[in-house]
Each structure stands twice: as C-alpha cells, then as structure tokens.
Amino acid sequence: ARSLAAAWAVGAVCVTAGDRGAFVARADGEPAYVPATVAHGDPCGAGDRFASTVAVALARGEGLVPAVVAAVASASAWVAAGGAEGYRRRADSPADRTPGAAREHAPDRASGAPTPSGAAQDVPPSDPDGPEAVAARLRAAGGTVVATGGCFDILHAGHVATLEAAARLGDHLVVLLNGDASVRRLKGPQRPVVGQADRARVLAALDCVAAVVVFDEDDPRAALDRLRPDVWAKGGDYTEGTLPEAETVRRHGGRVVVLPYVDGRSTTSILERSGRFAPGVPTLTEETTA
C-alpha cells in the first residue's frame, strides 16, 4: 500500500486482503491494518460492499481509516450473511423483506479473529528468560514474530481486539508489558490498578498470545532492540507521524503496522465510570500491599 501510494502520487492506497481484512497507507507514515471479523463464507459481492461503504463514509466526512474500518465491518457482515447468494435468498423470502433483515446474520464484532497457528499453549505469565530467548524460542518453532505493547491495565474489549488483530499479522505474538513502575510514571500514582504479575498472567492466558515480556522503561525501544520482531503492531489513532520506536524496529529488518482503536473503550473511561478515581479511594495495588 505504501509503495503504490508513493508510485501513484496519491493521498492513500487501501489493499484488501480477503478474509484477513485490509491495509491502508499513505506514502509517508505507518500503514494501518484493519482485520476482518469473519473468516469463512461466500465472498461474492464483498468487494462491492467494501467499496461502496468506503465511498459513502468518505462522502459523509469520515476519516480515511474510520471509513476503512466501517467498510471491513460491512463486508464482513455481508460475507457472514451469505454473500450474493444469501442476499438473493433473503430477497426471495417474503419473511425477510424487512429493513435490517440482513443485519440479523451479521457477526458479533467483538467475537474476534481465529487463533493464529503459532499461538502457544501453557505459557508462563511472564517469560523470565528475556526478549532474546523468547525470540529464539519462537523462531525455532517456525514462522514470524509479531510484537505489540502497552500497559493493559484492566483488560477490556478494545485490548482484546488489538491483540487479536496483531496476532493475525504473523505466527507468534509477544506482548511487551509496561511494568508497574513504568505505568506509574506514565499514568500517575493511582495506576496501575492491577499489578504486573496479574496483568501478565491474564495476557498469557489468551490463546492469541505466545509470550509476555515485562519491561521497566517508559517506552519499548530497549525491549524491541533485544526482541527484534518481524512486525511491531501499535494500537492507536492513525497518524502520518512516525512512531518513536519505528526506527528501532526497522533497523533490525522489521516493519511497523498501526491497529486502529476500538471506539469508546479505554481503561481510563472504565475507571471513571466506576468511580475508581474518586478522592481517597486506593488503587487495587495499594489495597493488596496495605
């Protein structure tokens, strides 16, 4: 997508990848990956559904990546509902000639993606051997190593969507997890509400995660310099700017992909709704150590 955008001197290019979803990129900046939400079904008509949804979203003033996110979801729902043949059956059925009938067959967008073939079983909560040993072990098993990172404090649907999307970019997903001291420096003294050992254990229990490595620095560059993943998947808002850690990843031959956030889901918003940040209320970490 980036190469075509540069060669054609256009604002952006989107490359669809069938049941994997779509990649969208400008000539500069990091490409974004939007995973599909259904892997099997009749794809006839999915491309038209994708293109028309993108066109309508852009005409309504949506941003580039949000438009592609909407289009991938629409095409996924179309495939799950039976594609062109499913549409014909619904059109021929008097019972289904009601607005929104096709949407009844749409997949649950929170259901996630299939487990990648390289997902590890029985992994420890946090690998004690360090990034180099983790990379060596996973590469010995064959396939590519994908890494993503973050605090993952109070795991929620947005986190899971990001992790599942990252796992689909390769064979083995390694999570670089901010340690407790790092989270406190980044998020404030009331965070994390869940300690690093428990956060690592929850992440390691996910089928899409092959290994968890805790790091203590404020950003993952040092850990990435040691892990040297084939792909660094970063969840966040799409931006033309280069991520600070991109140079580290590319120096070792890796590539960087941005994973759009799931709207309306964040640890901060969950804590605010629960009243967790009310004055005088201790964090879970404080309660545990008190």
Active site amino acids:
48
Contacts of 14 (CB under 8 A, 6+ apart): 1, 22, 23, 24, 54, 68
* Percent helix / strand / coil, the chain, rounded to 5: 45, 15, 45
Q: Could you tell me which residues are beta bridge partners of residue 89?
A: none
Looking up tokens 């009938």, which residue turns up?
A: 101
Here the tokens at position 262 are 């799931």
Query: Do the beta carbons of residue 147 and residue 252 sit within 8 Å?
Result: no
CA 229 to CA 248: how far, in whole Å?
10
CA 62 to CA 160: how far, in whole Å?
25
